[in-house]
A and B are shown apart, each in its own frame.
Chain A
């Protein structure tokens, strides 16, 4: 069960780009503020290049911020920590390792007993439904299965917070819907805080309690929405609800007004 609040406090991220004599400052993030309650499920929603992935990597500590502060459990973060785990859009499994070896990988620096590591890894491989595939290598698995491994690897370090960067973006539509249901099941089971980056309005509404909508150049949060549905959620039940359509339209209008390059 997660106990740490995430506080994003007027965060900015800018970097210089271009040849030496014509340096330009690009503001990837500007004045971003957001508070995420412990155990919450929050989506960062917006078009490509709006800075939502950058913010997620800043929360993890993979990218340093240039203004403001990000606090997790009251402490300002600067580096990646074991209380946060990252799930990548392109899975990033180690191809020479089996499913078991991949899930064990982050545990190898903290737990010296191999048996203990494997016991933990197996627990989470079971949880994502890959028990029969422990000894398989990533290239023998489908995209959906590879991302299940990615999620198991993240859960194995027992973080408070799961940071998920468009984790189902590379999957086909059907697998994607299955994985959404699976993720909600795991979230309810483990009580982790989830910060979920997506550019799909439907996915954000179906999954999250709160949605932070991004606008781009400079990347900032333009609006926040509460999603009124209780958990456990079922796909059909929600999509037929008139509140779903209303919320969907409202967010759409906001995104369209922001810029025309957005499409889904």
Chain B
């Protein structure tokens, strides 16, 4: 041990690359990314451009979409729809989650019904949503709500039930009145669950809004993806898909950061 430490800096640098830690992790990630890019390039050279364009063409497609403002327009429409849908989901999900988790008789009465709707593939609701709300923003917001509400609701409700055993017994032992418990114990304690619920809900909201662009009025990122696919503009299609991936990643990471900021005692990965 002492001998190895006495040596020069060179083995240390090598150890940083091979030993566990952020340096090794990032080395592997970058290497994997390059390998994937190379494999893509090699595969693309042997097939039609309509099936798989080269990475370079996708990059040019991205530049074109940005230059014409197609992506900006689509994401602008999508952002408004997702924001409205998520706001409704968050309000309904959190309020119902807390009430239903806290009052057991309400849970027994309502949860089986909500569970049944949750288990149904929500995409099957599209025709009904179209009949009720038309094809435009209202309908898309309803579709997003149907996708993201349940994630938020069930996460919050289960959170309330979990903390009941942990903290509510403490409050009971110290003779704290029930409404004070709800305000001072339950609401702060569910913060990490609300954040997790919002994160999951947003992932599903993105699914909902893309599907909305396919089946309802063709606008937003879903509409753009559909249109590009129909026109065999594969390079631009893949570029648009990349933006969906990046938005998903960014939103997920941002909410993770926020979660760790608001509930530092419960660090999730």
A105 to B170, CA, bound (A): 10
Cβ-closest chain B residue relative to A159: B174
Binds A, one of B56-64, B69-77, B131-139, B260-268: B260-268
B174 partner, pick from A106, A137, A138, A139, beta carbons under 8 A: A106
What chain B residues lie within 8 Å of A62 (beta carbons)? 169, 172-173
A139 to B175, CA, bound (A): 25
A129 is an interface residue with CB less than 8 A from chain B: no
Binds B, one of A8-16, A78-86, A228-236, A249-257: A78-86
B207 is an interface residue with CB less than 8 A from chain A: no
The contact sample of 11 A-B pairs, CB cut-off 8 A, is: A80-B175, A81-B175, A95-B265, A95-B266, A96-B265, A105-B176, A109-B175, A109-B177, A138-B265, A139-B265, A153-B174
A188 is an interface residue with CB less than 8 A from chain B: no
Query: B174 to A94, Cβ gap below 8 A?
Result: no
Nearest CB in chain A: distance from B217 CB, A: 44
What chain B residues lie within 8 Å of A138 (beta carbons)? 265
Cβ-closest chain B residue relative to A156: B174
What chain A residues lie within 8 Å of B180 (beta carbons)? 108-109
A96 to B186, CA, bound (A): 11
Residue picked from A85, A88, A109, most chain B C-beta under 10 Å: A109
Query: B167 to A96, Cβ gap below 8 A?
Result: no
What chain B residues lie within 8 Å of A153 (beta carbons)? 174
A105 partner, pick from B174, B177, B266, beta carbons under 8 A: B174
What chain B residues lie within 8 Å of A105 (beta carbons)? 174, 176, 184
Query: B191 to A96, Cβ gap below 8 A?
Result: yes
Residue picked from B167, B175, B191, most chain A C-beta under 10 Å: B175
Nearest CB in chain A: distance from B149 CB, A: 26
Query: A80 to B191, Cβ gap below 8 A?
Result: no
Nearest CB in chain B: distance from A234 CB, A: 33
A152-166 interface (Cβ within 8 A of B):
153, 157
B231 is an interface residue with CB less than 8 A from chain A: no
A88-107 interface (Cβ within 8 A of B):
88, 92, 94-96, 105-106
Given contacts A86-B173, A105-B174, 13 further A-B contacts (CB under 8 A): A62-B172, A62-B173, A79-B175, A80-B174, A85-B173, A85-B174, A86-B170, A88-B170, A92-B166, A94-B167, A94-B170, A106-B174, A109-B177
Query: B265 to A137, Cβ gap below 8 A?
Result: yes
Query: B173 to A80, Cβ gap below 8 A?
Result: yes
A86 to B190, CA, bound (A): 24
Contact mask for chain A residues 137-174; partner B; CB cutoff 8 A; 1 contact, 0 none: 11100000000000001000100000000000000000
A7 is an interface residue with CB less than 8 A from chain B: no
Nearest CB in chain A: distance from B166 CB, A: 7
Q: What is the interface of chain B mostly: helix, strand, loop, or mixed?
A: helix
A31-67 interface (Cβ within 8 A of B):
60, 62
What chain A residues lie within 8 Å of B11 (beta carbons)? none
Nearest CB in chain B: distance from A16 CB, A: 18
A94 partner, pick from B169, B188, B266, beta carbons under 8 A: B188
What chain B residues lie within 8 Å of A92 (beta carbons)? 166-167, 169-170
Cβ-closest chain B residue relative to A139: B265
B156-215 interface (Cβ within 8 A of A):
166-167, 169-170, 172-177, 180, 184-185, 188-189, 191
A79 to B175, CA, bound (A): 9
What chain B residues lie within 8 Å of A80 (beta carbons)? 172-175
Nearest CB in chain A: distance from B5 CB, A: 30
Cβ-closest chain B residue relative to A79: B175
Pairs A-B, 8 closest by C-beta atoms: A95-B265, A106-B174, A86-B173, A92-B170, A139-B265, A96-B188, A80-B173, A80-B175
Nearest CB in chain B: distance from A92 CB, A: 5
A18 to B176, CA, bound (A): 32
Residue picked from B172, B189, B263, most chain A C-beta under 10 Å: B172
A81 to B176, CA, bound (A): 10
Nearest CB in chain A: distance from B185 CB, A: 7
A92 to B191, CA, bound (A): 17
Cβ-closest chain A residue relative to B191: A96
Nearest CB in chain A: distance from B147 CB, A: 31
